[in-house]
A and B are shown apart, each in its own frame.
Chain A
Amino acid sequence: MNRGIFPPELHNCMPKKFNFVNPIIYTCIYMIKQITEKVSWVGKVDWELVRFHGDEYSTHKGSSYNSYLIRDEKVALIDTVWLPYDREFVSNLKQNVNLHDIDYIIMQHNEIDHSGALMELLDEIPDTPIYCTKKGEQIIRGHYHKDWNFVNVKTGDQLCLGQSTLTFIEAPMLHWPDTMFTYMDEGHILFSNDGFGQHFASESLYNSDVNQEELMYEAEKYYANILCPFSQMVSRKIQQILSMNLPIDLICPSHGIIWKDNPSQIVEKYVAWSDAYQENQITIVYDTMWQSTRLMAQAIADGIREADSEIKVKLMNITHDDKNDVLTECFHSSAVLVGSPTINNGYSFAIAGILEMMQGLKFKKKKAASFGSYGWSGEAVKKINAHLENCGFELLNDGMTCLWVPEADTLDKCREFGRNIVESIHSPIN
């Protein structure tokens, strides 16, 4: 293909190692993975991925870009892979199907990690119709600037492949405007794109084959960090799908493993996560320059434990702990305490960053408070409080401050602060 016409901004998002295509990649052919008689997985497992969405999302367990090939009387391809793997993807696909036999390309969501191979693929089969939502067409056009053969679909539209039929279900803002799900009647398969996904690399296809604790953590982290702002729509979409009375034996997301063993377990989790989810936990997120704010955080944690031995307390130093893990802990907490020393009349850059992320995630029905040390002006706590209110948290108090380094009586006050926090979170929210 002519790389010269590729938008430079898309080139720039590619890792440097992919700038020059190694011919070995062309010949690196892997087996497709058969799911049912008609459906096979033709995606890419990315064990090396450590950051996603730029640096917005950490992927400790790698990820996968799942693409599915359906071979009935007609042949349909559902989604592709991330741009750096476009040639590898198409090369592999060619080993398994004549590209000209592909009748339909179904694009459920067109962020570059799913649409990234379209240029490479359509360079070979440019007239193949792309089934997507109206927003999907706009987004593909906005990314690739090509006048391809688009077919817009809406909820309830069907595409007969022969013995099997696909039904499309629009799912706007789960998590982009263009998102849709696809249901295949034969095999009772829900292709859910990013819904029910996880950034979790595995050579196994199914949920029963992997470490369950790791899997569920990655599924929750994905929800907390990506889908949480759209919880109301998650809830409604699940109710809509349940009301359609579709039997579902397989949920095939676009990232991570396929839910085959008891697929309703992840639907039930989504129902819970989308309803102002919280556990009996308080997460204390802090930054510290010379340890004073850290000492306060630890004393507050002691006070919480003194007041309630059942409550789980998580202390996280925002500069040491991963930001997305921090947000996952906050997601399932009933209260979040945020601490920062005052620096230059404000709070630290790391606390500013995590507060901005918290605000964007639109957590619901959580309580919060702030604390921090200072040397002279001491604005951090007041500014954190304002940001916490913008996040939608209910402030429990005016916060706790400490001039210079805490001594015994100040640490006693921090413990008392912690005990009072427990008392407050047990009172009903307004």
Chain B
Amino acid sequence: MEKYVCDVCGYEYNPAVGDPDNGIAPGTAFADLPEDWVCPLCGVGKDEFSRA
């Protein structure tokens, strides 16, 4: 599964880690993140992310 990087703040979403603080289990692919998921660092939406 591919990592994605926030274009705004540089946060990297790693599917192997997920985003447990915000209810995203390890192993969740970026594409499977809910549409209202936002960057945990800066708060922008999924559309501001690019493939790492």
Contacts and interface: CB of A to CB of B under 8 A. Distances in A.
A177 interface: yes
Given A172-B42, A172-B43, 11 more contacts: A133-B43, A170-B43, A172-B38, A172-B44, A173-B43, A177-B41, A177-B43, A178-B43, A230-B8, A233-B8, A233-B44
Interface of B: 7-9, 38, 41-44, 48
Interface string A102-146: 000000000000000000000000000000010100000000000
Contacts, number: 23
A172 B42 CA distance: 7
A233 B48 CA distance: 9
8 contacts: A172-B43, A173-B42, A173-B44, A177-B41, A177-B42, A232-B7, A232-B48, A233-B48
Contacts of A170: 43
Contacts of A172: 38, 42-44
B52 to A, nearest CB: 19
Nearest to A133: B43
Contacts of A178: 43
A390 to B, nearest CB: 14
Interface in A68-124: none
A230 B43 CA distance: 13
The 9 closest A-B pairs by CB, nearest first: A172-B43, A177-B43, A177-B42, A135-B43, A172-B44, A173-B8, A173-B42, A173-B44, A172-B42
A232 B8 CA distance: 10
A133 B44 CA distance: 13
Contacts of A230: 8
Nearest to A154: B36
Best-surrounded residue of B9, B43, B44 (most CB of chain A within 10 A): B43
A178 B7 CA distance: 17
A135 B43 CA distance: 7
Contacts of A233: 8, 44, 48
Contacts of A135: 43
A223 B7 CA distance: 19
A23 B39 CA distance: 46
Contacts of B38: 172
Interface in A172-188: 172-173, 177-178
A178 B38 CA distance: 12
A233 B39 CA distance: 14
Contacts of B48: 232-233
A364 B38 CA distance: 25
B21 to A, nearest CB: 11
Interface in A269-316: none
A177 B7 CA distance: 14
A230 B7 CA distance: 10
Interface string A215-245: 0000000000000001011000000000000
Nearest to A236: B47
A133 B38 CA distance: 13
A213 B37 CA distance: 42
